[in-house]
Amino acid sequence: MTMRVSPALAPWLLAISAVAAGLLWHAGDRIAGVNQAVVTGTATVGGPFRLLDQDGRARSDTDFRGRHMLVYFGYSLCPDVCPATLAVMADALAKLGPRRSKVVPVFITIDPERDTPKALKNYLAAFGPDFVGLTGKPETVRKVAGSYHVFYEKHPLSRGGYALDHTSVIYLMGPDGKFVTFYNDESLGPDALAADLKKRV
Ligand code: NI
């Protein structure tokens, strides 16, 4: 995928409108139409969650207070954008030096039927020892994703099975659990992400 310098500092309201307009929509292996919910009023990004990690332990948003969360929603069978984005996150975090421990990378699956804790554990091992993978009941995951304005839908593949089209945005949450900023994976490389994180954590 193309890596350009990110307009990482855009205000979060832009994220909302971009998501609403489908600009950050990652269309698995086809072009997806714009079908996002329109967000109006005083929207927030993120919120409480209670999910299972890759070791099968219950984890909630409050477990990560005091550290920043770098949150990305995707799925382990994604052929391109998800692994590329997780690699960018891992590479950026590796550049943080002593501040590395202040940021916990969190991958929340949007494919909980296939992304069991065990599947997440196998998948995330490639990206680093401290990635937290989260899964849960489909309706729970849907709700958590919605709180981040992340939307997704399945489409069947001609060879059988399915892929997921999904919003592709990295969110940075603060030590208080509140939204700080977002990054659009399609325009981001590890150096740009690391540089911005160094200013913020
Ligand atoms: Ni993906």
DSSP the chain: -------TTS-HHHHHHHHHTTTTEEETTSPPPP-PPPP-SS-------EEEETTS-EEEGGGGTTSEEEEEEE-TT-SSHHHHHHHHHHHHHHTSGGGGGGEEEEEEES-TTT--HHHHHHHHTTT-TTPEEEE--HHHHHHHHHHTT--EEEEE-TTSSEEEEEE-EEEEE-TTS-EEEEEEGGG--HHHHHHHHHHH-
Predicted local confidence at residue 136, as pLDDT: 98
Q: How distant, in Å, are the alpha carbons of 60, 84, 167 from that of 90?
A: 22, 10, 20
Predicted local confidence at residue 185, as pLDDT: 55
Predicted local confidence at residue 23, as pLDDT: 47
Predicted local confidence at residue 44, as pLDDT: 87
Predicted local confidence at residue 186, as pLDDT: 64
Rounded distance from Cα 25 to ligand 1 centre (Å)? 10
Rounded distance from Cα 123 to ligand 1 centre (Å)? 13
Predicted local confidence at residue 25, as pLDDT: 56
Q: What is the model's pTM?
A: 0.81
Low-confidence ranges of the chain (pLDDT < 50): 1-17, 20-23, 27-42
Q: Among 55, 17, 20, 13, which residue's Cα sits nearest to residue 34? A: 20
CA distance 166 to 93: 24
CA distance 107 to 144: 12
Predicted local confidence at residue 187, as pLDDT: 66
Rounded distance from Cα 84 to ligand 1 centre (Å)? 9
Rounded distance from Cα 80 to ligand 1 centre (Å)? 6
Predicted local confidence at residue 24, as pLDDT: 55
CB 179 within 8 A of CB 45: yes
Pull the structure tokens for residue 82: 């998800």
Predicted local confidence at residue 201, as pLDDT: 94
Rounded distance from Cα 26 to ligand 1 centre (Å)? 6
Predicted local confidence at residue 9, as pLDDT: 33
Rounded distance from Cα 167 to ligand 1 centre (Å)? 8
Predicted local confidence at residue 184, as pLDDT: 78
Q: Residue 165's beta-bridge partner residues? A: 27, 153
Predicted local confidence at residue 10, as pLDDT: 36
Rounded distance from Cα 121 to ligand 1 centre (Å)? 17
Rounded distance from Cα 39 to ligand 1 centre (Å)? 22
Predicted local confidence at residue 77, as pLDDT: 96
